[in-house]
Amino acid sequence: MSDNSKHEVRFLLSDVDGTLLRPDHSLSQANMDAVARLRVAGILFTIASSRPPRAMRQQVKALGIDLPYVGFNGGNIINPDGSLMEAYRIAEPAARTCIDLFTQHPVALWVFADDQWFLMDPDGDYVEHERNTLGYEPVRVESFEPYMDRVDKIVAASKDFDLLIRLESELNPLIDGLALAARSQRYYLDVTALDANKGKALLTLAERFGIDRSHTAAIGDGGNDVAMFHQAGLSIAMGQGEESVRREADHVTGTNLEDGVATAIERYILPR
């Protein structure tokens, strides 16, 4: 976290679920209007999500984004034409370690690879929720073995939020230097490649845009957003985010039910 609020913001990177979107995954008119005002002011805007890139296209289109955007927590950076600008995949030993650990606990286990969502149990926790979020169907498999050398993201989903906190703490030392585990929501523990984090993605995009990090801003609600808070010149947490996330940000805005993004853009980003 840094306190560079006195610097003019020239680039804002925003999380999607729990931030731009309401709990029902809708995009409010207030948030769309605020993003449009950024464009008028000449401030660059794009999005970063734990979602697969194919599940972000609707938001990219609705917000009129014509810049690269970030999927899989930074695992993929996608050019506006849909081609890959950068791809970071989980090292195979780390992928095996994660799957071995998760299969020992009562969590739903998902693997994202080859632009698909693979699972073994279609009735697991949050499968229906994820289906509604992504807008496409999972592929049921008997084994994840065929995809182990090219995994973009692994997810443990559970209604036992405390279990995911414990698994996050237990897993990170086991994959240290190879991959990173972070909760994108209270009910999702995401594992991505070591370089697949929103902080590195923010720096990569800022360099591409020719913008110093002191003139960047980031907004989000989850543990996986803290990495970009640490790199951005200005960081803003959503009001409903966990306290551990809020305390890492320079400012806290309203919740995603209160159009907190629009409030933050007006209060902290747009020139006075």
**Structural domains of the chain sorted by starting position, each given as residue range(s) with its CATH number in brackets:** 11-87+196-269 (3.40.50.1000), 92-193 (3.30.1240.10)
Alpha helices (runs of H) in 89-126, residue ranges in sequence order: 92-102
Whether the Cβ atoms of residue 162 and residue 143 lie closer than 8 Å to each other: no
Q: What is the reported pLDDT for 3?
A: 43
Q: What is the reported pLDDT for 272?
A: 78
Convert the pLDDT of each residue in 64-82 to its tens digit: 999 999 999 999 999 999 9
Going by DSSP bridges, is the β-strand pair 234-237/44-47 parallel, antiparallel, or unpaired?
Answer: unpaired
Whether the Cβ atoms of residue 263 and residue 254 lie closer than 8 Å to each other: yes
96-107 as b/e: b if 16+ CB within 10 A: bbbbebbeeeeb
Any residues with CB less than 8 A from the CB of 66 and at least 6 apart, and which? 80
pLDDT confidence bin for 1, thresholds 50/70/90 = very low
State whether residue 192 is helix, strand or coil.
strand
**Which one, of 35, 28, 41, lies nearest residue 13 by Cα?**
35
pLDDT confidence bin for 60, thresholds 50/70/90 = very high
Q: What is the identity of the amino acid at 97?
A: T
| Burial of 129 per CB tally in 10 Å (0-12, 13-18, 19+) | middle
